[in-house]
Amino acid sequence: MRFCRSHDGVRIAYARYGEGPPLVINSCWLSHLQYDWQSPVWRHFVEGLGRSTTTLRYDERGFGLSDWDVADFSFGARIADLEAVVDDAGFDRFTLLGMAQGGPVAIAYAARHPERVERLILSSCSPATIVDEQDAEMEEAFIHLIRVGWARPESEFRRVFTSLMIPGATPEQMAWVDDLLKMATSADNCIAARRGRYDIDVRPLLGDLDVPTLVIQSRGDRLTDFDEARELAASIPGARLVPLESENHILLAEEPAWPVFLREVTGFVAPSAARPDAADAVRTLTARERAVLARAAAGDDNDAIAAALTLSPRTVERHLQNVYLKLGLSGRAARAGAVAALMDDLRVRGPAGSGIGY
């Protein structure tokens, strides 16, 4: 973990994990760098993305390990925080992943700094907030719940937010997020941050974006309507939309949508890591090599692959090295490049043609 100062002196906490092409996550407000590694709802994100990318994530101002004594929660301040983090981390060009309420910040940053953003991923986010009277009434109801129940030891008030985010969660996962809400910030900061998100509208920026863009969202998301994902994909030139079969705003490790998300995101981040004919070279892999690579694409580490395929970790590593050799890959981005090549072949020939049983 490291810290940097934003334009107004607010201290922002950030962390790097993994190896491979740089991926910067502008996440939702529900984060805490210290506790995410213990979380049954966040740990698989960090671990999965970190296996094939250098993942940079940070706590928003007023949340997690960043400064809580904050007066300005405006949209402009949040963009400045992202600018400060990537500059302090030394990332020149990177893929930017905007999750949930981090999406508009990512869009604005990409419009302001096209030379820095190599690719853009928008996950479960809306381009505009508080667009009508019904939205405003619902938001005021949420704010009242936060004011009266956020800091209470019992979780009933916070459970309203948890059940909207992850309706498919287990009782353990629900309870963990109930507690994370209280650990992530204070009631006052939560209210101020939500009000700072009023009337944000980045739709006028979408048509001018000139960056490869992936839009990915659960069809049944209760916090972000799937029509908003359609609007993003239709408004950004060349954007691709990937629907996920889930009701969860935050994907859980156990659900089928999670490996789809992981494959799509990691394959999108690193397509240039493979040589131009690497997708064709995938077809030269043996059945065992394809099986190992498919498990890697699903986010498994070498130990998990070994357990799933009844192999030793050393044998898994040998198969992966053979894959890299056949695909002409080397270095820190080899795993991400191999996954990208596999995904390219999958899109061309489908699961049966690629030898993958998803």
pLDDT one-digit tens code per residue, 151-181: 777 667 778 778 888 888 888 888 888 888 8
pLDDT one-digit tens code per residue, 52-84: 899 999 999 999 999 999 999 999 999 999 999
pLDDT one-digit tens code per residue, 192-211: 998 888 889 999 999 999 99
275 in the same domain as 263 = no
Tell me how far apart the alpha carbons of residues 10 and 274 are, in angstroms, rounded to a whole number: 40
pLDDT at position 40: 82
DSSP 32-45: -TTTGGG-TTTHHH
CB atoms inside a 10 Å sphere around CB 290: 19
pLDDT one-digit tens code per residue, 80-107: 999 999 999 999 999 999 999 899 999 9
**How many domains does the chain divide into?**
2
Q: Which CATH number is 279's domain given? A: 1.10.10.10
259 in the same domain as 211 = yes
Is pLDDT above 70 for 351? Answer: no
Is pLDDT above 80 for 132? Answer: no
97 in the same domain as 26 = yes
258 in the same domain as 291 = no
Structural domain that includes position 320: 271-354
Report if residue 172 sits inside a domain: no
